Structure 1
Amino acid sequence: MSSTTSSTEAELKRSWAPMVGLFLAQVLMSFNVAALPISLGGMVEDFGVPPTTVSSTIVVYGLAVAALVMTGAKLGARIGWVLIFRVVVALFAISSLMMIFSRTVGWAIGGQVVAGACAAIIVPALVALIAENYRGEQQATAVGSLGSARAFSGVSAFLIGGTLGTLVGWRPVFLVTLVLAILVFVLSFRLRSDKGNPGIKIDLVASALIGASIVLLTLGFNNLNAWGILSATDNAPFSLGALSPAPVFVVLGVVFGQLFFMRTRARMRAGREPLVDLSVLSNPTERSAVYAMFIIVAMEAAVNFTVPTYIQVVQGRTPFDTSLAMMPFNLTVFITATLIVRFYNRFSPRAIALFSFALTTAALIWLSFVVTNNWETFPTIIGLIVFGIGQGALVTLVFNVLVTAVPKKLAGDVGSLRGTTQNLASAVGTAVMGAVLVTVLSTGVTTAVNEHPELPEELVAQVSLDNINFISNDELGKVLAETTATDEQISAAVELNEEQRLRTLRLGFLILAGLSAVAALPASRLPRYRPEEIPDPSK
């Protein structure tokens, strides 16, 4: 019996050449995302517009992916995954050309809208094409490579993009995405062909509902800081009385999301084609995997926001310095995401998930105690490495659970669910962490200012010290130098701000540790099957 199984597995094994193209497609998307923040300074200088305008390139890309990914999955199933994959990769190359030759910020924003729309189809296509081309252990390895590709892209984008941006300019950075798109297009001809199903109908109403939901949720969470968590700030585009539009957008996003689920369930009961087959969430195992994925990506986004903010804004260092500081984490995620599949035949998904969440929780608690104003300390690096091990294992694991838990025909739905969950979790993780840190910092500074004997009320009134955000000591010193503050008062204020920033950073890591510990609940509901009971994904 075992010899028959072995021979069957040998027959099913395929060349890894097609997977190289899929791996590079994930690298293409992730590199593009990572390259945008690196290019902001150069675009501001070239186009002569404010940074907030240029940052729209990042926003529109994420919105396009999140809003269109479910519709993209249905288009792929209707037209055929290989054909539509080639088309959107070619369009991605065009978006790179738009970035390289753009003469106004409008062209750059348009280029990222095109790139985001293409990524909305590439994301589910990767899952569907892996399910079409690989089986069993090869499929698990292929799924794991997508997680490692994201980490690899983050490292390479900072190193390559930072070097090119410093020595040549921001435009050559997108020559990298252009070359990647061409390589992926050429390698796509090694993929197993499928014809698609022209009979598949796309529910445009559901598409509009989920698109509106994702856009509103993303805008709401992303602007909690800028527009106000409750009361509208001066930066808010409008206000509802004194209420900030950010929480209103979040509530409306939830409402549209519920309407989407109601319509989808109604269509499934009527036997009509839904935009996404909710049977991929039909049992607690799959729902738990989605919940766990949301928490994992949100934690990663929060760390990726916190660390660069501290290094670049507080310490006043360059993006290249940030990439070096984050390299232990990114490299560890990359290596772990690639190697974790070797443990699938020894331990159940539940055991791996619980152990990994224990690692991330312990690492975040450790960081909350050891992090100092000098980021490159050995204890801090150890904490990032341990966190990266748990993070890399989890990203690959929960995705693999979803892929193997459903029939191959639903692989596109799993891909769209992955894309929606990751983009929404990334926005929520970044925005909520930013809001929490700024709120904690403001509260801490206010209390400390009121209790500090060397900072009189008239000085606080001159600089609004109790409302200050994350800024470097040099910037704070310049602000205070324009007031009536004495040298002793400036030193006291700088020392107070430094203490409160560090306190806020440590508390932020503790909050993330609590979130990681809570994640043990969905992780405990992941499959407990033994190695020989792993489901056959080909069914």
Structure 2
Amino acid sequence: MIVVVLTQIQASFSINALTVSMAGITTDLDTPATSVGTAITAGTFAMAAFILLGAKVGARFGTRGVFQIAVAIHAVAMATVAAAATPAMLFVAQAAAGTVISLVAPALTVFVAVNYRGSQQAKAIGLLAAAIPGAGVLALLIAGTFATTIGWRWSFWLMVALGVLNFLLSFRLKKVPAQPGLSIDWIGALIAAVGIILISFGFSGLATWGFWLATPHAPFDVLGISPAPLLALAGLLFVQFFFMWLRKRTREGKPRIFDLRVLATGSERAITLCMGTMLFVGSAANFLIPLYMQVVQGRTGLETSFAIIPYTLSIFLASTFIAFLYTRFTPRVLATAGFIVVAAALTLLAFTVRGEWGQLSIIAGLILLGLAQGSIVALVFNTLLSAAPRQLAGDVGAWRGLVHNTFASVGIALATTLAVGTLTALLLAGAEEHPEISEDLISQVNFDDANFLTNEQLEDALADRASGAELEAAIEVNEHARLQSLQLSLLALAGVALLAIVPATRMPGRRKGDLPEKLEPDDDDVIEDDDSVDESDVSEGARP
């Protein structure tokens, strides 16, 4: 369990460290804050693109051996991040790190499934889920301190050392037998990877290339339309084709890159949707808050860390202890209540956030959000793993990683697009409502290229264009637009959380603590033992 938790921390720390170190990276590499978000999505989308293949590679060549190679390569990628001299270098290193994590994530789930049963398994899954926010807490404390004192790069050198430690400790893990006769569905893996990569470029480019009409930053356009929505649409079509391919391979009895029995019932598909929605909302909020504090308020990484520690710590605690509620409440009840709390917390934040984060109401909102988010993420993962046959643990782990990284990255991308788009509209409206701001100044500003700026950065940008009362009015408009765009973005996320109540009501009404050896029938989402069901009798991912 120590190896599992430390490796999950190694995999998750870098993303949190990038967020906390945003101010230092933007200054050191002379790049806008949105490019840090692009680097984050590069790693998470790369993992999502290849994680289904990673699960099969681990099964084919031996989970422990593949795991060890991946941990070592990830350490090298972290060294590259630490030595990055350009935004492109940072982007490539994060993409490489995400690619090898696609081998690590399924292995961690396999290790848990092989070594634990029953209530121990539920608690082990809670610890695995808690390791992600645990890495967040460490990143807030360590990366925040390093970014303010000795430099942001030392956080990633620390991950290199942790990678070496995990590699050495991994030799104490029990070997999971390889399956040398396992055939890998390379075509299915390619279709999945292309689909995820297209989605990644599409959603990541929404903020800079244009949500619909192409901006000057777009690499190309189609009749003036931005490539971002076109790539995202193409990616979604590939995803649809991927599931068609899997059903075809299932009918023909051929190996497939992902076993559809993981999503055999409506209940399991609802679990996936709940998982994705929570990760979408949580990642978006987790990106908006540091963005606002560091870029808008001009706070240091250490100040940001201490301000949002209650939020991250509450995620950690909820992920760890939610297993104790499994015997009292059904997943359906826990998930529904969780999303209601998430929506309430985001609404509370939206209506109480001001220029400072020290208010009691804001701290309470962050804690509520963290408790609900941690509970839901651990709950849905455990419910999905408990419902699947034990031999599909690798597929469950891969699916969890794919959903986690895809929805988290889309959440960051859309949150950036929504916040910047709202900021643009508010800046333009505010400028037109202030008579102190001249028409000449408004015509000189490219509002379509707006971004979050501190008061000092805005003063520098307008130094040769405005002064006196006009500059003061521009700063006032900027302050109001920044705050209101954050509030509206948080309210939009609250609405998404409320929509998730619908699939939450389709989650199981009862759970079984251990992985069944064989498939069971679906009877009103209640899982019962039925050893008479044979896996070979299942066609097209449907349970008898």
TM-score (norm 2): 0.89
On the 8 A contact 1:449/1:466 being kept in 2, the answer is no
Deviation digits for residues 411-437 of structure 1 (CA, Å, limit 9, x no counterpart):
111111111111111121111122122
- Supply the AA of the counterpart residue of 1:438: V
> Hey, what's the Cα distance between the residues in 2 that align with 1:117 and 1:526?
31
- Cα distance change on mapping 1:495 and 1:458 into 2, 3 Å: same
Helix, strand or coil at the partner of 1:527: coil
Shift of 1:495: 1.8
Shift of 1:101: 6.2
- The alignment of Structure 1 onto Structure 2 pairs a total of residues equal to 518
* 2:123 corresponds to 1:141: yes
- Supply the AA of the counterpart residue of 1:527: P
* 2:474 corresponds to 1:502: no
> Which of residues 508, 513, 522 is equivalent to 2:503?
522
Q: Which has the higher helix share?
A: 1
Matches within 5 A, 1:115-154: 115-154=97-136
- Supply the AA of the counterpart residue of 1:506: Q
- Higher deviation after alignment, 127-136 or 81-90: 81-90
* 2:322 corresponds to 1:340: yes
Residue in 2 aligned with 1:442? 424
* 2:367 corresponds to 1:385: yes
Residue in 2 aligned with 1:21? 3
Helix, strand or coil at the partner of 2:462: helix
On the 8 A contact 1:21/1:183 being kept in 2, the answer is no
Residue in 1 aligned with 2:532? none
- Cα distance change on mapping 1:48 and 1:29 into 2, 3 Å: same
Deviation digits for residues 33-58 of structure 1 (CA, Å, limit 9, x no counterpart):
22345567767787788988887754
> Hey, what's the Cα distance between the residues in 2 that align with 1:205 and 1:482?
57
On the 8 A contact 2:23/2:300 being kept in 1, the answer is no
* 2:86 corresponds to 1:72: no
On the 8 A contact 1:130/1:142 being kept in 2, the answer is yes
Shift of 1:165: 3.8
Percent of aligned positions that are identical: 39
- Cα distance change on mapping 1:439 and 1:523 into 2, 3 Å: same
Shift of 1:195: 1.2
Deviation digits for residues 216-256 of structure 1 (CA, Å, limit 9, x no counterpart):
10111011010000111111112223111101110110111
- Cα distance change on mapping 1:82 and 1:38 into 2, 3 Å: same
- Cα distance change on mapping 1:50 and 1:204 into 2, 3 Å: same
Residue in 1 aligned with 2:241? 259
Residue in 1 aligned with 2:252? 270
Residue in 2 aligned with 1:93? 75
> Which of residues 415, 426, 431 is equivalent to 2:413?
431
RMSD, aligned CA: 2.5
Unaligned 5+ residue runs, structure 1?
1-18
* 2:178 corresponds to 1:178: no
On the 8 A contact 1:135/1:538 being kept in 2, the answer is no
Shift of 1:271: 0.3
Deviation digits for residues 132-169 of structure 1 (CA, Å, limit 9, x no counterpart):
11011111111111221111111212321232344334
- Supply the AA of the counterpart residue of 2:414: V
Deviation digits for residues 88-109 of structure 1 (CA, Å, limit 9, x no counterpart):
2233333344455678877765
- Supply the AA of the counterpart residue of 1:267: R
Residue in 2 aligned with 1:419? 401
* 2:338 corresponds to 1:356: yes
On the 8 A contact 2:423/2:451 being kept in 1, the answer is yes
Deviation digits for residues 109-129 of structure 1 (CA, Å, limit 9, x no counterpart):
554444222200111111111
On the 8 A contact 1:404/1:536 being kept in 2, the answer is yes
Deviation digits for residues 386-443 of structure 1 (CA, Å, limit 9, x no counterpart):
1111001001000111110101110111111111111111121111122122222222
On the 8 A contact 2:214/2:224 being kept in 1, the answer is yes
* 2:381 corresponds to 1:399: yes
Residue in 2 aligned with 1:489? 470
On the 8 A contact 1:446/1:467 being kept in 2, the answer is no
Shift of 1:504: 1.8
- Cα distance change on mapping 1:505 and 1:526 into 2, 3 Å: same
Matches within 5 A, 1:317-332: 317-332=299-314
- Supply the AA of the counterpart residue of 2:482: R
Shift of 1:501: 2.1
- Higher deviation after alignment, 148-157 or 30-39: 30-39
Residue in 2 aligned with 1:235? 217
> Hey, what's the Cα distance between the residues in 2 that align with 1:30 and 1:49?
23
- Supply the AA of the counterpart residue of 2:426: G
On the 8 A contact 2:352/2:362 being kept in 1, the answer is yes
Residue in 2 aligned with 1:192? 174
> Which of residues 136, 140, 161 is equivalent to 1:158?
140
> Hey, what's the Cα distance between the residues in 2 that align with 1:55 and 1:503?
21
Helix, strand or coil at the partner of 1:71: helix
> Hey, what's the Cα distance between the residues in 1 that align with 2:87 and 2:424?
34
- Supply the AA of the counterpart residue of 1:376: G
